[in-house]
Structure 1
Amino acid sequence: MGFDGCVILNRIEFLESNEPGIYTVGSGFQFNRLGMQCSNEGFTGLEFAGGIPGTVGGATYMNAGANGQETADVVDRVDIIKNNGRFQTLNRIDLKFGYRSSPFQFMKDLGAIVAVTFRLQPSGSAKRRLQECLERRRVSQPIGERSAGSVFQNPPNLEVAAAELIEKAGLKGFRVGGAMVSNIHANFFINSGGSTSQEMLDLIAIVKEKVDQKFGVQLKEEVLYVHPYCDDLNPNRDK
């Protein structure tokens, strides 16, 4: 299937900190790098970002999170550009975030997130917590494999993770062509070699169906689809 369109590489990669704990960061800045820098400088709130691939803009758009922390916890304001070319600054109090959700996913006139300002608190344990997050990720996730991270959200109101449901359904290692459920973490689907986007879509659909059949739980994707043929796969997003 591929993507029949223009993909823009975001190079808005600046970082400014004019007072302790306040970081204004370009949306193209690597989220992993930001988490490591803030934590190593003794500020807490973004330790979980260590080891997470992607950008500050993407993490804000998705409200990325892990280990009891999420991006929205420390967002102070967000600078955006609209489709008409106008810039706007949105303060945290005006932004309603949810689990892996942000208001930016529903803005029809959003052009792009330009920069995000984070407000962090000093902590003597931030560096240690960063290292704990990195080690936990190293032993529990397929680091180095080609994936889009967690495929499904954890089901609400259930004390069980999506990965556990997929594993208990016997789907670790299950594959469709080159698309495969990771043997390390069942909520990571990897390109084991030569996978097409259609194979990955088919794998996601099969896993959803099998988990529903076995446990009566309908998994909801954490990933978002960007291909126009997949618009109906984002039922809770404005088109």
Structure 2
Amino acid sequence: MAGCELHYSPGFSPVGRNSRLKFLSRDVGSRNLVRMHREKVLFKVQAAVCNNELQEFLSLPSSFMQGKRLSELSTFGIGGPAKYFVEVHNESEMSAVIRFCQKENIRYFIVGKGSNCLFDDRGFDGCVILNSLKFLESDGRGIYRVGSGYPFNMLGIQASNDEFTGLEFASGIPGTVGGAVYMNASANGQETADVIKSVEVLRADGEREVHMREDSNLVYGYRLSPYQTMEGFTSILAATFHLKPCTGARQRHRSFLERRRKTQPVAAKSAGCIFRNPGSGCQSAGALIEKAGLKGAAVGPAKVSNIHANYLLNAGGSSAADMKTLIQLVRNQVKEKFGVELREEIIYVPYTSK
């Protein structure tokens, strides 16, 4: 605003409730003087300051809020309110929010599409961070560097349309790149780890690291990545994938997608497959659940899918308690009839750590 003077007296809270601004604006060519003060503002302030704590605060995004319903952030459609919620769009915001939470001793949980989470009915007694690091860079030769909040299915579609193979399976997975790396998502004989070149992560001390896939210390496996147990790890920022040329990639991803639509309840509220497959020499979790006669079994509005038995659905108003009861029912029945202990692959997000 030309001809404006800005006077700022800080009184900080995450949403700027105590911030005070005074604008002294003079209309050029007239004698009109406009004064505005004590205005509440919800925008990000960019400034060069000397105080380190002030500079850290100013790098926080302005979208902190309270009471966000976690059912809106989960493909299950289940979950109560978060004490705090914030959406981050770049690495500096992610780092600033995590540092802020650590400094204020606020428990935090990072969510992408929420396609593998079961939130508590009471919500989350801390800060839920929505990861919106959604950039995609490609060199045209099969190298894709992608933000951790980028939709994994969109990456699969893009790479397949570019005629590169390795991520055709991703085109039907409703998660993010960060979630796919963290869980080592896989399907149709392909898995995320097979095509990872490097992963950029943020540590608890605020340092960023780049992990190369060839590092023998980084162990991946079925639904397993090193980030599930890595000490000092806080978040995945980006991943780089190296894919090979393949003229049939586009058709293959279309066939995978069509098969998924026919064999899985893709339009229902679910978290995908609930249980990990038991392993070699054993039938899949879905086959065992179906043989146990549990298709259509329900606890309130929580229901085992009639299409794919390893999908448990929120058929309308299911609570987390309903879903947990149904999960335990399925585990008990499969254990009793086949002697197989099913293990969940979804992540339970409790209300509190106490």
Matches within 5 A, 1:15-164: 15-94=136-215, 95-164=218-287
- How far off is 1:199 after superposition? 1.0
2:325 and 2:307 map into 1 onto residues whose CA distance is: 21
Matches within 5 A, 1:171-182: 171-182=294-305
- How far off is 1:133 after superposition? 0.5
1:138 counterpart letter in structure 2: R
SS at 1:9's partner residue? strand
- How far off is 1:174 after superposition? 0.5
SS at 1:77's partner residue? strand
Q: What RMSD, in angstroms, separates the aligned Cα atoms of the two structures?
A: 1.4
Q: Which residue of 2 aligns with 1:237?
A: none
1:55 and 1:47 map into 2 onto residues whose CA distance is: 15
Instruction: Specify which structure has the bigger relative contact order, considering alpha-carbon pairs within 8 angstroms and separated by 6 or more residues.
Output: 1
2:201 counterpart letter in structure 1: I
Unaligned 5+ segments in structure 1 are: 232-239
1:209 counterpart letter in structure 2: N
2:353 and 2:265 map into 1 onto residues whose CA distance is: 26
SS at 1:203's partner residue? helix
1:84 counterpart letter in structure 2: D
1:195 and 1:108 map into 2 onto residues whose CA distance is: 35
- How far off is 1:88 after superposition? 0.3
Q: Which has the higher helix share?
A: 1
2:294 and 2:352 map into 1 onto residues whose CA distance is: 27
Cα deviations by residue, 1:15-51 (Å, 9 ceiling, x for unpaired): 0112510000000000000000000100000000011
SS at 2:128's partner residue? coil
2:302 and 2:185 map into 1 onto residues whose CA distance is: 24
Deviating 4+ runs (over 3 angstroms)? 228-231
2:233 counterpart letter in structure 1: L
Matches within 5 A, 1:154-233: 154-227=277-350
1:128 and 1:229 map into 2 onto residues whose CA distance is: 46
Cα deviations by residue, 1:140-179 (Å, 9 ceiling, x for unpaired): 0001111011101111122411000000101001011111
1:204 and 1:45 map into 2 onto residues whose CA distance is: 32
Identity %: 54
Larger radius of gyration: 2
Q: Which residue of 1 aligns with 2:114?
A: none
TM-score by length of 1: 0.93
SS at 2:139's partner residue? strand
2:243 and 2:139 map into 1 onto residues whose CA distance is: 13
Change (3 A) 1:229 1:182: farther
Cα deviations by residue, 1:74-126 (Å, 9 ceiling, x for unpaired): 00000000111110000001221010010000023111000000000000110
TM-score by length of 2: 0.64
Question: After alignment, is 10-19 or 71-80 more displaced?
Answer: 10-19
